[in-house]
Amino acid sequence: MPPQDPQPELALLARMKQGDEPAFVALYRRHKDAVYRLALLYCGSQQQAADVTQDTFIHFIGKPGQYDPARGSLASWLGGIARNLARKAAGEREIATDPERFGDDAAPFEEHIERDTPLEHLMRSETAELVRRALTGVAPHYRDVLILCELSELSYADAAQVCGIDIGTVRSRLSRARAQLARRLAALGAGTTAAQEAS
Amino acid sequence: MTHDIRLLEPGEDTLLDLKLDELRRDLAAHEPPGAMEAILARRFRDSRNGASRPRLWWMPPLALAATIAVVSWIARMPVHAPVAAESPAAAEADAGPFLAIKPLERIALEPGRTIVRTTEFPRALLADWGLPVPPERAAEPVRAELLTTVDGEPLAVRLLN
């Protein structure tokens, strides 16, 4: 996502802090879809995603001063709140784990692949559904960067801020995450590996 | 478990991007419920109304401090005894004797209707009432309490210095 001039958004934020309702509504309209889709990817349920989105903006209403423009964009700050709430809503099954404990092809989260989530009913596209299922099987620390960088289109810097890691780690995790996702897709029959395409 | 990963070849990368594009397109069709905006706007309005209401948290401590200050001031305030300069009771309380300057019968006609007042007059005036006055001090003022009628007629005198 190309960097945007933050000034108009900061001006809206300043007006919102002074009680300007239209300014809040404008900010909500700017970020609601991204927050909702991020929550949907983490929760897998429209209802939970709606709840998470609402709670994220309620937090924003109550504590707009917590957002520090020097530390990142408003989108990444809201994304971080939504991510935390969504992980909590998902029963904390996505509690951050030590990446060193898991190999890339180890499948400690395999049980999640078949977990019956309402998102299965949301995805109209078969391919999209396959990717979603494959994504569910990716280790959480890799899935984080896939969701944030690939599907929510946050910058590496913003994703690093959301996850609390440095940009270099985001890059390396993203490469590994893509490889793991490709293997999961191949295992589900939607091949992306060269070998599978050749066959 | 292995930490050895084989990263994707360029072709595999492209294929994966195509798959991810499918998911992105599908996600783009999802939006939060339309009613959420009104709910949040109302929440925003309520929170602002709450914030703009005057906060009276400081009232109880201020009231307590004011009460303590007033009570403390009253407790420290010196108690002034009522000035009894013109009170007959004050004259009775004083042990010093009054010297009658009118016949006792005359004084007896005014029971309960006399006044004691502090005054200052030339010492020579004492001679008029039959009291001794040294000639060398005749010009000096003298402070005295006078027992008078309510009309101001002197009945008795008590020298104060």
- ipTM of this predicted complex? 0.74
Task: Catalogue all structural domains in chain A, each as residue range(s) with its CATH number.
Answer: 1-94 (1.10.1740.10), 96-193 (1.10.10.10)
Chain B residues close to A193, C-beta within 8 Å: 12
In the structure encoding, which two tokens stand for residue B68, read together? 């303590």
* B7 compared with A94, residue with greater pLDDT: B7
- CB-CB: which of A103, A122, A192 is closest to B15? A192
Beta strands in chain B (DSSP E): 99-100, 114-122, 141-149, 154-159
Residue A13 has pLDDT above 90, yes or no: yes
Looking at beta carbons, which pairs linking A193-198 to residues 24 or more positions away fall under 8 Å? A193/B12, A194/B9, A194/B11, A194/B12, A197/B11, A197/B15
Q: Give residues 57 to 116 of A whose Cβ lies within 8 Å of B.
A: 57-58, 61-62, 100, 102-106
pTM across the whole model:
0.59
Question: Is B103 domain-assigned?
Answer: yes
Determine, yes or no, domain membership for B62.
no
Per the CB < 8 A criterion, the answer to whether A176 and B7 are in contact is yes
- pLDDT of res. A167: 92
Q: How many domains does chain B have?
A: 1
Residue B40 lies in a domain: no
What confidence tier does A31 reach under pLDDT thresholds 50, 70, 90?
A: very high
**Beta strands in B14-149, from DSSP E residues, in sequence order:** 99-100, 114-122, 141-149
Residue A99 has pLDDT above 50, yes or no: no
Tell whether the model's pLDDT for residue A92 goes beyond 80. no
The reply to whether residue A104 touches residue B3, judged by beta carbons under 8 angstroms, is yes
Residue B112 lies in a domain: yes
Measure the CA–CA gap between B13 and A128, rounded to whole angstroms: 17
Domain that holds residue B96: 88-159
Q: How confident is the model at residue B47 (pLDDT cuts 50, 70, 90)?
A: confident
Which distant-in-sequence residues (6+ apart) come within 8 Å of A52 by Cβ? Answer: A35, A39, A42, A43, A82, A85, A86, A89
Of A130, A179, A192, the CB nearest to B6: A179
For residue B19, which residues of chain A lie inside 8 Å, CB to CB?
127, 130-131, 185, 190, 192
Domain membership of residue B66 (yes or no) is: no
Task: Please tell me the least confidently modeled range out of A4-18, A56-70, A119-133.
Answer: A119-133
Per-chain mean pLDDT for chain A: 80
